[in-house]
Amino acid sequence: MALERLRSCTHIGRLCKELGVSTATLRRWRSTEAGYKPVRAVAPRPVESLQQENERLKRALAEKTLEVDFLQGALQQVEARRRQNIASGARASTPKSGE
């Protein structure tokens, strides 16, 4: 009965808890059962879906790269202004950390 339920089960841990047996025991029963063929719980995703996800992830990476470049440029400008103000004797427009 346990092996029949295992064939259609999507969560082995829940089934083991329900039956009161360990996962190792259930797996041992399964491996000794003649002719047992495991049912694939998750169907493979179509290639088109994977290609679409790949494109979406590439776009997201490109956007993040642009954001990082923008922020690095802004930081360089702030640092350059701070250096100019310190060199001229004027107070920096933004205080250093800890001031």
Q: Please name the residues in contact with 32: beta carbons below 8 A apart, sequence gap of 6 or more.
A: none
Whether the pTM exceeds 0.75: the reply is no
| Residue-wise pLDDT tens digits, 21-44 | 888 887 777 777 755 555 556 667
With contact defined as beta carbons under 8 Å apart, do 13 and 23 qualify? yes
Q: What is the pLDDT of residues 44-77, one digit of tens each?
A: 778 778 889 999 999 999 999 999 999 999 999 9
Q: Looking at residue 36, what DSSP letter applies?
A: -
